[in-house]
């Protein structure tokens, strides 16, 4: 009876909530093993954490093992906890390398 | 003897009044939020109640569906379509819904779930769990609900899910027209089209 009372009074009012996933689009301005820093098209700098579950997907080379580097375009799928954005998947396309001037 | 009994009843009543008073105080002053993590005591009690809610003969049932590659393939598609919205394709529960319901969607890959018997997993899928976000998916007689038994196989497979399987699941997740538009915009952005960022920026994005 006590358990039932506890369940009804304490658990029942607390079932559904709502939230949203996050996407971060932009150009990589910094990256290391724990985070990637992205400059969005609006000029905002966004820091996204990376962990062992983060997956990287290179455009046009989905089975590749490359990681994004500074200057690459990224679309990051992330979840947000209380303090930080945590990347679940990082899609990136390498920055176009400047063509050397013709001699 | 009677005095002891009255003392016991008095202590129980005072305890209940105190507990209700405390809950009332929390409710009317700070409020309850689904964002908080359940207290360890609450988790313990809830799991015990869930365990006790499953009849013993159902707990001990073994999976009537033989494990086969086709079964895994079918249940992967089923999970991606029906379960991943809350549990995530990888079963981590790290989704906008899974992280914000109360109690949180568990990480299905971990021991708390994997240590449940096949019968318990089936029961939870078929009957749902009261006072949580887990609905009852089963229809009709449990004996005929082979889809839920197939999902039990897939839940067992979650800890060893491959990258290729995750990619396949992404193609099978239900998508709204808005999400399809967003994906196209993301693709264009990666190809160098800056205007696509504005299109994608209309949702919940930075």
Tens-digit pLDDT profile for residues B112-155: 999 999 999 999 999 999 889 999 999 888 888 999 999 999 99
Asked whether the predicted pLDDT for residue A2 surpasses 90, the reply is: no
Cα nearest neighbour of A2 on chain B: B16
Asked whether the predicted pLDDT for residue B64 surpasses 60, the reply is: yes
Residue A72's nearest CA partner among A41, A95, A100, A49 is A95
- Mapping DSSP to helix (H, G, I), strand (E, B) and coil, where does residue B205 land? strand
- β-pair type (A73-80, A85-93): antiparallel
- Which of B17, B25, B206 best probes binding to A when mutated, by most A CB atoms within 10 angstroms? B206
Tens-digit pLDDT profile for residues A63-103: 778 899 999 999 999 888 777 899 989 999 988 765 566 65
Residues 146-175 of chain B whose Cβ lies under 8 A from any Cβ of chain A? 163, 166-167
Structure tokens belonging to residue B28: 């009317």
Q: Where is pLDDT greater, at A65 or B10?
A: B10
Whether the CB of B46 is below 8 Å from some CB of chain A: the reply is yes
Q: Which among A6, A21, A73 has the least Cβ separation from residue B190?
A: A73
- Torsion angle in degrees (nearest 10) through CA of A92, A97, A98, A99: -140
Tens-digit pLDDT profile for residues B160-190: 999 889 989 999 999 989 889 988 999 999 9
Cα nearest neighbour of B36 on chain A: A14
From CA B34, how far away is CA B125, in angstroms rounded? 22
- Position A21 scores a pLDDT of 65
- Give the C-alpha distances (Å, rounded to integers) separating B11 from A1, B8, B45, B86, B131: 16, 5, 22, 43, 29
Chain B residues within 8 A of A44 when measuring between CB atoms: 206
- Position B28 scores a pLDDT of 77
- Position B157 scores a pLDDT of 97
Asked whether the predicted pLDDT for residue B90 surpasses 50, the reply is: yes
Kindly indicate the confidence band of residue B36, based on its pLDDT and cuts at 50, 70 and 90. Answer: confident
Cα nearest neighbour of A94 on chain B: B190
| B145 contacts: CB under 8 Å, gap ≥ 6 | B122, B126, B138, B139
Using the Cα atoms of residue B10, residue B14, residue B17 and residue B20 in order, give the sign of their dihedral: negative
Helix H, strand E, coil C: the string for chain A is CHHHHHHHHHHCCCCCCCCCCEEEEEEEEEECCCEEEEECCCCCEEEEECCCCCEEEECCECCCCCCCCCCCEEEEEEEECCCCEEEEEEEEECCCCCCCCCC
From CA B136, how far away is CA B145, in angstroms rounded? 12
* Mean pLDDT of chain B, nearest integer: 89
Kindly indicate the confidence band of residue B26, based on its pLDDT and cuts at 50, 70 and 90. Answer: confident
CB B128 within 8 A of CB B135: yes
């Amino acid at each position: 009876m006590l358990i039932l009372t506890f369940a009804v009074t304490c658990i029942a009012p607390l079932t559904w909530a709502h939230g949203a996933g996050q996407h971060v689009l932009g150009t990589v301005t910094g990256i290391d093993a724990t985070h990637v820093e992205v400059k969005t098209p609006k000029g905002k700098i966004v820091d996204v954490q990376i962990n062992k579950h983060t997956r990287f997907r290179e455009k046009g080379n989905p089975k590749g093992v490359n990681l994004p580097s500074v200057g690459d375009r990224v679309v990051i799928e992330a979840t947000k906890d209380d303090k930080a954005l945590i990347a679940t998947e990082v899609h990136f396309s390498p920055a176009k390398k400047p063509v050397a001037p013709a001699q | 003897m009677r005095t002891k009994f009255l003392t016991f009843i008095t202590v129980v009543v005072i305890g209940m009044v105190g507990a209700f008073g405390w809950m009332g105080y929390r409710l009317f002053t700070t409020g309850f939020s689904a964002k908080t993590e359940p207290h360890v005591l609450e988790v313990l009690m809830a799991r015990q109640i869930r365990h006790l809610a499953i009849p013993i003969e159902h707990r001990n049932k073994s999976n009537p569906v033989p494990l086969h590659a086709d079964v895994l393939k079918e249940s992967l598609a089923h999970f991606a379509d029906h379960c991943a919205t809350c549990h995530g394709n990888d079963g981590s529960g790290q989704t906008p819904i899974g992280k914000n319901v109360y109690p949180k969607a568990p990480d299905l890959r971990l021991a708390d779930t994997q240590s449940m018997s096949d019968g318990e997993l089936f029961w939870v899928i078929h009957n749902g769990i009261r006072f949580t976000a887990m609905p009852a998916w089963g229809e009709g007689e449990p004996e005929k609900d082979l889809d839920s038994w197939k999902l039990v196989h897939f839940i067992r497979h979650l800890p060893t899910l491959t990258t290729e399987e995750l990619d396949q699941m992404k193609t099978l997740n239900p998508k709204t027209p808005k999400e399809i538009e967003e994906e196209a915009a993301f693709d264009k952005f990666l190809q160098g089209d800056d205007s696509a960022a504005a299109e994608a920026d209309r949702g919940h994005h930075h």
